[in-house]
Amino acid sequence: MNWRRLAAMAHKELIQIFRDPRSLLVVVAMPILLMFAYGYGISFDIKHVPICVLDRDASQQSQDLLKHFQASEYFRVVKVANNYRELNAAIDAGRCQLAVVIPWDFSRKLAAGGKVEVQAIVDASDNNTANVSMSYSEAVIRGYSQQVQLEWLQRHGLAGASTASAPIRVDARTWFNENLESSAGIVPGVVVMVMAVVGTFLTSLTIAREWERGTMEQLISTPVTSMEVMLGKLAPYFVIGMLDTTLCAVLGVLWFDVPFRGRWSVFFLSSTLFLIVVLSLGYFFSVVGKSQMAANQMAMLATFLPTFLLSGFIFPIDQMPVPVQVISWVLPARYFMTIIRSVFLKGTSLAQLQTNLLALGVFAALLALLATRAFHKRLD
Amino acid sequence: MAREPEKVRQQIGYMSQKFSLYNDLRVIENLRFFGGMYKVSSSALPERIRWALDMAGLTDRESAITGTLATGWKQRLALGCAVLHRPPILFLDEPTSGVDPISRRQFWELIHRMAGEGVTVFVTTHYMDEAEYCNRLVLIYRGQIVASGSPTELKQRAMKGELLLVECEPLGPALETLKSAPGVMDAAVFGDALHLVVPEASEAVHTLNSYLSERGIRVKKIETIRPSLEDVFVSLTTTHAQSAPDRRPQ
């Protein structure tokens, strides 16, 4: 190992990155772009579901109930229909996902103290949204119905009974993501995605580019060793990868308001290990692929989909079928995902993360070894 | 040698046939990079780079992007990069392919200057006129060494017979009749004349003169010439091809 050659290699690589608009775009624009695309694009929070209302009673009480829907942040009344035909048309056209129909005898039955039914029609072509909006609408109606009961009791001089109206109440307290916002879980995951994709992408070009442009022939004739080539090429990308990672994390905290409760030291330690994993992997593909196109596709295929599907980014691993869970064990991103989420949301200590860190470390060592072994200075 | 490839590489300079420096780097950046690869010490590097720029005639273009240079300049820059570390042995793989005649001549002057400084230079080439510049030649045909020696040696030794230049009219029929003429070992068109290989020149001049006039061909000039390396190569490869028929398909 010679430092002079290593430094010359790294310096050359750095010049090439900053002179090539494409790689500069990948280095600077891609992380930010992915961060925003995923940060905003992936959200499981269902709010402002467009609804259509048909008030066949047109009484003060029916309007009161509809006001509850309007006041809820979960719904947005986009249409007030005058008949079923209009309501059907609105659902068919996809202008609303839920329709609430108040029957003509709503206020009459209510006054009589009887049971009243309100119809809800839901567009279940997206079953997740349908489920959630159904339960939201039930909650709104339950709220209204409690209010009606309360008023009835008060009118009959039984004000003291108001506490009895809801004998058991679940007082749920959610930890780590108090508002149950999906962005808190998603944004740290996006950091992992960005690192996996950008990291492999960057190094997947390095060796392939030398082959493709014919510069490898001259490089091979020099005394530089395979190890110096690898380290010299990976060093600039490691620094860039670290900067990108920090950028993403800072964006997550400052822009997406995700809490950061852990230690930055744990964050940087795990990021270092994960970067070694993805940079080595990209480098390996670059050696094996020999053309930038092939190496790039391999890199995308190996990082993007598995990280997206199997790392627990969106789909919880313990809900997966066992064989798929087993596959996820060999995915370094899975361990990093757990660590990053814990660091952001829980502030878990280093000791509690040691199993995941260890797994990540083993993968880093294995892949670095694979990368060193892959490249031979030979012209065949 | 096989066990210490890096030490061997420190002793040699190599320039490939295809331009293989970094086109997206500036001239000076390429020089610095290869200076680093060959561990030219930081104190000696500026002087070596100045020397290389001067040699390549690129002194005022050191910050040009390499890809924008003309082929001749690129080749000289490549040579500069290959010799930054003053290697005792230099390999040049068809260094002048695709280079204009003036650049080619300048390039050979450089090679000679380096050879004069004691560097052993290996050059591969397809141009037989370039081969004339070398001290020692090895002719390789279909992967096999056909002959070796200095240009003069090769011309004396390798040519079986002597070479005649014949200027006559009409050329086509003359070639046909001469191919079957007694004592003619080989006949070929060279420009507007014929080259004949005969066992003994002075004798053949007389016989061929009369042989051609008998057949109605007007002879303008017949003279003995010194064979070029191209003649030597053609002569050697034809005899080689006859004695050892296609062993390796081309």
pLDDT in tens, B52-106: 998 888 889 989 999 999 888 888 899 899 989 999 999 999 888 777 888 888 8
A330-350 burial, b at 16+ Cβ within 10 Å, e below that, comes to: ebbbbbbbbbbbbbbbbebee
Lowest-confidence pick of A115-124, A173-182, B179-188: A173-182
Of the residues A219, A222, A227, the best mutation for testing chain B's interface (the one with the most B CB atoms within 10 Å of its CB) is: A222
Q: Where are the domains of chain A?
A: 3-43+184-374, 49-165
CATH code for the structural domain at B160-226: 3.30.70.100
3-state secondary structure of A102: strand
Tokens of A73: 């942040």
pLDDT value of residue A141? 86
Of the residues B18, B19, B22, the best mutation for testing chain A's interface (the one with the most A CB atoms within 10 Å of its CB) is: B22
| The pLDDT of residue B215 is above 80 | yes
Tokens of B109: 């002057």
* Residue located via tokens 């039930």: A138
Q: What is the pLDDT of residues A80-137, one digit of tens each?
A: 999 989 988 888 888 888 899 998 888 888 888 778 888 888 888 877 778 888 888 8
| The pLDDT of residue B249 is above 50 | no
E strand map for chain A: 49-55, 75-81, 98-102, 119-122
pLDDT value of residue A13? 93
The minimum CA-CA distance between B81 and chain A, rounded to whole Å, is 10
Q: What is the pLDDT of residues B162-179, one digit of tens each?
A: 888 888 888 888 888 888
Measured CA to CA, the distance from residue B49 to residue A129 in angstroms comes to 68
Q: Is A114 on the interface with B (CB under 8 A)?
A: no
Angle, alpha carbons B236-B238-B243 (nearest 5°)? 95
Question: Residue B32: its chain A contacts at CB < 8 A?
Answer: 8, 11
Q: Do B14 and A214 touch (CB under 8 A)?
A: no
Nearest Cβ partner for A223 among B20, B21, B38 = B38
Q: Is A11 on the interface with B (CB under 8 A)?
A: yes
The minimum CA-CA distance between A276 and chain B, rounded to whole Å, is 25
| The pLDDT of residue A177 is above 80 | no
DSSP-assigned beta bridge partners for residue B168: B219
Question: Residue B19: its chain A contacts at CB < 8 A?
Answer: 214
Give the percent of chain A with pLDDT over 90: 25
CATH domain A49-165 topology: abc type-2 transporter like fold (3.40.1710)
Measured CA to CA, the distance from residue B74 to residue B82 in angstroms comes to 12
Bridge-based pairing state of the strands B89-93 and B120-124: parallel
pLDDT value of residue B248? 45
Measured CA to CA, the distance from residue A173 to residue A185 in angstroms comes to 17
Tokens of A123: 């567009």
Tokens of A373: 């072994």
Q: Do B16 and A221 touch (CB under 8 A)?
A: yes
Measured CA to CA, the distance from residue A241 to residue A246 in angstroms comes to 9
Q: What is the pLDDT of residues A248-304, one digit of tens each?
A: 999 999 998 888 988 899 999 999 999 999 999 999 999 988 888 899 889 888 888
The minimum CA-CA distance between B15 and chain A, rounded to whole Å, is 7
Measured CA to CA, the distance from residue B188 to residue A187 in angstroms comes to 80
Longest dimension (CA), chain A: 99
Measured CA to CA, the distance from residue A266 to residue A269 in angstroms comes to 5
Q: What is the pTM of this model?
A: 0.75
Measured CA to CA, the distance from residue A188 to residue A216 in angstroms comes to 39
Lowest-confidence pick of A298-302, A335-339, A369-373, B144-148: B144-148
What class has domain B5-126? alpha beta
Q: Is A8 on the interface with B (CB under 8 A)?
A: yes
Nearest Cβ partner for A16 among B18, B20, B24 = B24
| Chain B residue with the nearest C-alpha to that of A10 | B33
Q: What is the pLDDT of residues A191-207, one digit of tens each?
A: 898 899 888 988 888 88
| Banded model confidence at residue A241, pLDDT cuts 50, 70, 90 | very high
CB-based burial of residue A300 (10 Å sphere; 0-12 exposed, 13-18 middle, 19+ buried)?
middle
Where in chain B do CATH 3.40.50.300 domains reside? 5-126
Bridge-based pairing state of the strands B120-124 and B162-169: unpaired
Bridge-based pairing state of the strands B89-93 and B12-15: parallel
Q: Do A223 and B9 touch (CB under 8 A)?
A: yes
Measured CA to CA, the distance from residue A211 to residue B1 in angstroms comes to 26
Q: Is A22 on the interface with B (CB under 8 A)?
A: no
Of the residues A5, A12, A220, the best mutation for testing chain B's interface (the one with the most B CB atoms within 10 Å of its CB) is: A12
Where in chain B do CATH 3.30.70.100 domains reside? 160-226
